[in-house]
Amino acid sequence: MQVQDTSFLKNEIMRLKKEKDVVILAHNYEIPDVQDVADFTGDSLGLSRLAATVPQKTILFCGVHFMAETASIISPEKRVLLPSLEAGCSLSDSITVEELRNWKKQHPNAISVGYVNTTAEIKSELDYCCTSSNAVNVVKAIPEDKEILFLPDMFLGSYVAKMTGRKNMHIWAGECHVHAGITPEDVTKKLQSMKDAEFVIHPECSCTTPMMYDVADGSYDDNKVSILSTEGMLNHVSKSKSKNFVVATETGILYRMKKENPEKTFIPASEKAECEYMKMITLEKVHDALINERNVISVPKKIADKARLAIDRMLEIS
């Protein structure tokens, strides 16, 4: 019965999105069923940029709240729907706009660089936005004598400081609860269980910090290792000649990896690396959002305009 219900819902979603002229975007961490009904699957900023180029005037974003906000900032003339308003983000929640303003007051001459995994209000207070794939380039583009406030992810911040050699970076002590839970012990155990495995790791993982020096050399325990964004991981595993991969990020990405590379083997560094917020998006909620056109995410123009400036500065660099 469940299979029939799922097939029916998928067919209804496909029908409704055409009928209502809606584009469905799904983040790489969404459940397989939701990825199946999406027009595009990818990382948060890539999807938001792509949404600006499609003809549809309504975007249904299957992801978390800050992602829908980013899509609204980049495409202010379009309507953005979010299937679940409860789909938040532990990393985004790790800094408030008041905390950021106070931090900036303590370092009045510093340049603020914030990860895209932040609220629109936080983005509006930043000098630059960044993603996991371009954070190093964004920091390198800032004059070396300038202090940098990097937020909110401490593991990504540590990685960037290591790769750029910056000694004047202040790093906010925030973390993604999913990536913070992937430990060096998890990784070592999995690598030992898979012969000739390549290791792909997201820089938000807590395991990057103790491994940093080995990883920067491109190896860990004699295994080839790459620190990459989610899209970077997907591109890398497709091009790599390796057949076995240990993947250190949220487990939702494995579905797309296996689908695009059926002849290769992918195992998670930790089976527990599941984002409860991403998993709040279900087929039922996608269907409901299409039927009722509810949960419209909009960003006040003043905040959106300032936030867009930080995003545009980043895009000019990367």
Extract the annotated binding site for [4Fe-4S] cluster: 89, 176, 275
In terms of phi and psi (left: phi > 0; alpha: psi -120 to 50; beta: otherwise), the region of 278 is alpha
Q: Which residues are annotated as a binding site for iminosuccinate?
A: 27, 44, 115-117, 132, 202-204, 230
The Cα 198–Cα 200 span in angstroms is 7
What is the β-pairing status of strands 223-227 and 219-220?
antiparallel
Residues contributing to the annotated binding site: 27, 44, 89, 115-117, 132, 176, 202-204, 230, 275
Q: Which of 44, 37, 90, 91 is nearest to 69 (CA)?
A: 44
